A and B are shown apart, each in its own frame.
Chain A
Amino acid sequence: MATVAASASMPAALPRASVVARRRRRFYWFIVPALVVVGAVIVFPWLFTLWMSAFEWKIGGTPHFVGFDNYTGLFTNRRFLEAVVRTFYFTALAVIVPLILGTIAAMIFHREFKYRGILRGVFIMPMMATPVAVALVWTMMFHPQQGVLNYLLSLVGLPPSQWVYSPTLVIPSLVLVEVWHWTPLIMLIVLGGMAALPTEPYESARLDGASEWQLFRYITLPLVAPFLFVAGVIRTIDALKTFDTIYVITSGGPGTASETINLYLYLQAFAFYNIGNASAVVVIFFTIVLALALVLLYLRQKTQWT
């Protein structure tokens, strides 16, 4: 302690860099406890998973080393490959729709109007609500005979739908829940971007007779693009990982019509206790998430340079 106090009062006595380095080193101790915990509950599971993916192991039995067999097995496993395609389909819809609706909502909440605070509070409630609770309510609303959604359709003269009971409509129906749940998060991120918008370009563009659409297309959109991008990356990661909603509403059904990678993984691990195979699924799944995030980041860099 004394040395630091001394060197601080006599900065010329030591090269500045080493003082800073020494001062910094003491702050590393603040990180150590968190590092230990993160190592135990986050990093250890990663390594364990990677290791187990090379074994054939059922809980209770003895593990057999099988090398890459779990992986090669998965690449020829029709059910798994279908789950991968389904996950991409679900993710694409569950990213694009909230991005569009969230931007529109942000433009509305960017304006000043009466009760804006309380209405924004109501609008973001879905994002914080417990997914299981929400999913149960949607399960009841989707009911083909007694569900309120088909009643609402009949009010506007549309025929009833089978919703999650139809193999073709189940994914779009689940996306509907996802859109309801996560559009508020996109809205908040984009709204944060809009808060920093300058006013001058709008004023001069208006003087030049630009329409509202032109203001949005040529001023607002380019300026909030970085925020939309961040929102898009976050949404992509979360959509890929969706579990609660699908598990509660359909458990992957009807048949396997809504079985995404995460659902397949859950069955392998905790219904069949195929730990080795499930670990290989995790590794592939994580690679997909990481690769998509990196591709998006790369695209962002590219569009920034041109």
Chain B
Amino acid sequence: MSPRRIVRRIGFWFSVVVIVSPAIFVFLWMLSLALKNEIDNTAYPPVFIPNPPTFANFISVFQQNNIGRYLWNSIVVSGGATLIALLIGVPAGYGIARTGAHRFTVLILIARMTPALSYLIPLFAVFQFLRLNNTLTALVITHLVITVPIVVYVMAGHFETLPRELEEAAQIDGAGAWTAFRYVALPLARPGIVVGVILSFIFSWNNFVFGAVLSGRETRTLPVAVYNVLTFEQLAWGPLAAAAIVVTLPVLLLTIFLQKEIVTGMTAGSVKGG
């Protein structure tokens, strides 16, 4: 290798390090805070490597802040909202792709532009009227605002890429529209469904403001509970970082292991809930 090429290579790797390090740094710092005791966490200059690492912060958030329960609430809310979105969104995506009803897609794009808070005011009033405030049911219904548009948008795009010939052949053989959908189109749509499930689950999981307004003490979702660790514990950094890891670790693992699906979904639809 010529010296010129070596210099260029070093320059290139330097730029790779520069753009990737902020991401790595923030997550490692979060981990470091979570594994250190409070004395090391507030020391200046900061202690970077936990020595010895302690799990006391994690034990404390699970015991004192009841994080286990809120973890379960989040699984129920995001899981439920994603499931309902699949049941109604996958057929809808198919219908849009086969009828070319793009007015519906425009509706979903406008929904994407509306600030999440604007859904909350009317829904809050309605739930108040129905005495559904502070219930998980109300949260699941509200999270449909996030999950349904994502699933419909991803599925409509996906079904449009599938060839119609197979379904038409099935229909000529006497299959109804539903049978053609259920036994021909649906099995082929699995990659699109995976993308839709991942994105809608993650964006529902990450949502903070719906839970912040609509949930009570027992029905908080994880992001709300994590935020409450901040307000009640007067800047206890270790437990705060530990709680932050509990909420974001599942999502980060999904991002690493399902990178391909996430990249496909985010670039094609560029959907972000809320």
Contacts and interface: CB of A to CB of B under 8 A. Distances in A.
A270 B244 CA distance: 25
B33 interface: yes
Contacts, number: 277
Interface string A279-292: 10010011001100
Contacts of A130: 205-206, 208, 222-223, 226, 244, 247-248, 251
A154 B141 CA distance: 49
Interface string A46-82: 1011001000000100000000000000000000000
A282 B121 contact: yes
A247 B209 CA distance: 10
Contacts of B254: 128
B24 interface: yes
A244 B259 contact: no
A19 to B, nearest CB: 12
A38 B92 CA distance: 11
What interface size band does chain B fall in? 35 or more
A123 B19 contact: yes
Interface string A4-48: 110011000000000000001011111101110110011111101
Interface in A271-304: 275, 278-279, 282, 285-286, 289-290, 293
A269 B116 CA distance: 13
Contact of A41 (B145, B174, B230, B259): B145
Interface string B41-70: 011111000000000000000000000000
B42 A146 contact: yes
Contacts of B89: 34
Interface stretch (A90-98, A131-139, A202-210): A131-139
Interface in B84-123: 84, 87-89, 91-92, 94-96, 98-101, 104, 107-108, 110-123
Contacts of A28: 95, 99, 101
Contacts of A270: 120, 124, 213
Interface string B254-274: 111001001100110010101
Contact of A151 (B45, B113, B202): B45
Contact of A136 (B43, B91, B244, B262): B244
B259 A138 contact: no
Given A129-B248, A189-B270, A278 B121 contact: yes
B208 A132 contact: yes
Contacts of A132: 206, 208, 223-224, 226-227, 244, 247
B256 A262 contact: no
A108 B16 CA distance: 7
Contacts of A184: 23
Given A29-B95, A282-B117, A244 B226 contact: no
B227 A188 contact: no
A1 B259 contact: no
Contacts of B10: none
30 contacts: A24-B98, A26-B177, A27-B95, A31-B92, A31-B99, A34-B88, A34-B91, A37-B144, A41-B119, A41-B142, A42-B119, A45-B121, A104-B19, A119-B16, A123-B20, A124-B255, A128-B252, A132-B247, A133-B247, A137-B241, A139-B230, A151-B46, A180-B23, A188-B267, A189-B267, A189-B270, A237-B112, A243-B115, A244-B209, A275-B121
Interface of B: 12, 15-16, 19-20, 22-24, 26-27, 29-30, 33, 42-46, 84, 87-89, 91-92, 94-96, 98-101, 104, 107-108, 110-125, 128, 141-142, 144-145, 148-149, 152, 168, 171-172, 174, 176-177, 181, 202, 205-206, 208-209, 213, 222-224, 226-227, 230, 235, 237, 240-241, 243-245, 247-248, 251-252, 254-256, 259, 262-263, 266-267, 270, 272, 274
Given A30-B177, A139-B230, A269-B124, 16 more contacts: A28-B99, A30-B92, A30-B98, A37-B88, A48-B121, A59-B128, A121-B259, A123-B19, A124-B263, A128-B251, A128-B252, A136-B241, A140-B33, A191-B267, A265-B115, A270-B213
